[in-house]
């Protein structure tokens, strides 16, 4: 029994020594690490993002002024165009929106509250506007912004993602660039969609304040489609989208 106990003890010591050696073998020498492997993989920290949106245009000079401001800051936005505004002399403005890397959305032809229309009339409002967008730019809009943000089941069934907003600058109402800025300063968050109108000089002036403020706060200004793609979210037809995230 005693001999057996000594043998067992010896075996345990050998086992411990072997496992310690094995551990030493497994542990790589420090110089085997490449510098990158010394640290945990770095998380891709994406910047906070917002989508500025402009409704009711195109309106010639104001749309172009806003595009100029966006270009200065390498910022993008989405322009929801009204069909009745997209006359032939505005085709070049629509093309300029796309040339600047911005996005065009559909704001219907006549800017009527769609909840007052039949499904056929809703379809005509959307299709005729997309026909004009196509005539101007060679592409059509994938996103629908219903006038006044009003929608019902018929609007949701029209085959487009409905994009509304979560921050309304009310630029059309107060016509005060500072108040538009203030609305953004008080409410901006990562993933938000901001409503403005490229119809007024005061809105372009508001844009001149809002864009640098957002950039200064670390926001990246992207199109609605880019915003949702960046957040890994789908803009699905039949759904409404007020923000991403
Ligand atoms: Ni509108």
pLDDT of residue 33: 44
pLDDT of residue 3: 54
Instruction: Name all domains of the chain by residue range, CATH numbers in brackets.
Output: 53-241 (3.20.20.370)
pTM here is 0.82
Taking the centre of ligand 1 as the mean of its atom positions, its distance from the CA of residue 100, in whole angstroms, is 22
Closest by CA position to 147, among listed 174, 131, 125 = 125
pLDDT of residue 45: 53
Active site residue 107: no
- CB 244 within 8 Å of CB 231: yes
Choose the catalytic residue: 107, 197, 198, 241.
Answer: 197
pLDDT of residue 36: 46
Q: How would you write the pLDDT of the chain (245 residues) with one tens digit per residue?
A: 455 554 444 554 444 444 444 444 444 444 444 444 444 443 445 789 999 999 999 999 999 999 999 999 999 999 999 999 999 999 999 999 999 999 999 999 999 999 999 999 999 999 999 999 999 999 999 999 999 999 999 999 999 999 999 999 999 999 999 999 999 999 999 999 999 999 999 999 999 999 999 999 999 999 999 999 999 999 999 999 999 98
Taking the centre of ligand 1 as the mean of its atom positions, its distance from the CA of residue 114, in whole angstroms, is 12
Taking the centre of ligand 1 as the mean of its atom positions, its distance from the CA of residue 166, in whole angstroms, is 15
Start-to-end CA span in the chain (Å): 71
pLDDT of residue 35: 44
- CB 155 within 8 Å of CB 112: no
pLDDT of residue 20: 46
Q: How far is CA 35 from the centre of its chain?
A: 35
For residue 199, what are the CA distances in angstroms to 75, 82, 143, 221?
19, 11, 20, 20
Active site residue 197: yes
- CB 78 within 8 Å of CB 220: no
Taking the centre of ligand 1 as the mean of its atom positions, its distance from the CA of residue 26, in whole angstroms, is 66
Residue 158's Cβ-side half-sphere holds a number of Cα atoms within 13 Å equal to 29
Rounded Cα distance, 123 and 129, in Å: 10
């Amino acid at each position: 029994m005693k001999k057996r106990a000594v043998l067992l003890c010896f075996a345990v010591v050998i086992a411990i020594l072997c496992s310690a050696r094995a551990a030493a073998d497994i542990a790589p020498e420090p110089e085997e690490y490449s510098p990158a492997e010394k640290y945990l993989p770095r998380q891709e920290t994406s910047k906070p993002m917002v989508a500025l949106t402009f409704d009711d245009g195109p309106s010639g000079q104001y749309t172009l002024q806003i595009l100029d401001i966006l270009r200065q800051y390498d910022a993008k936005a989405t322009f929801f165009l009204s069909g009745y505004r997209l006359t032939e002399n505005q085709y070049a403005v629509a093309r300029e929106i796309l040339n600047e890397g911005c996005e065009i959305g559909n704001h219907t032809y006549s800017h009527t509250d769609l909840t007052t229309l039949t499904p056929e009339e809703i379809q005509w409002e959307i299709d005729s506007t997309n026909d004009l967008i196509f005539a101007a730019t060679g592409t059509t809009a994938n996103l629908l912004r219903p006038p006044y943000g009003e929608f019902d089941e018929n609007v949701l069934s029209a085959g487009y993602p409905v994009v509304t907003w979560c921050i309304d600058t009310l630029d059309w109402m107060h016509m005060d660039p500072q108040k538009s800025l203030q609305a953004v300063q008080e409410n901006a968050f990562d993933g938000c969609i901001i409503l403005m109108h490229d119809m007024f000089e005061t809105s372009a002036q508001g844009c001149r304040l809002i864009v640098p403020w957002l950039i200064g706060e670390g926001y990246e200004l992207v199109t609605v489609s880019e915003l949702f793609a960046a957040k890994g979210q789908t803009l699905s037809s039949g759904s409404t989208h007020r923000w991403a995230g």
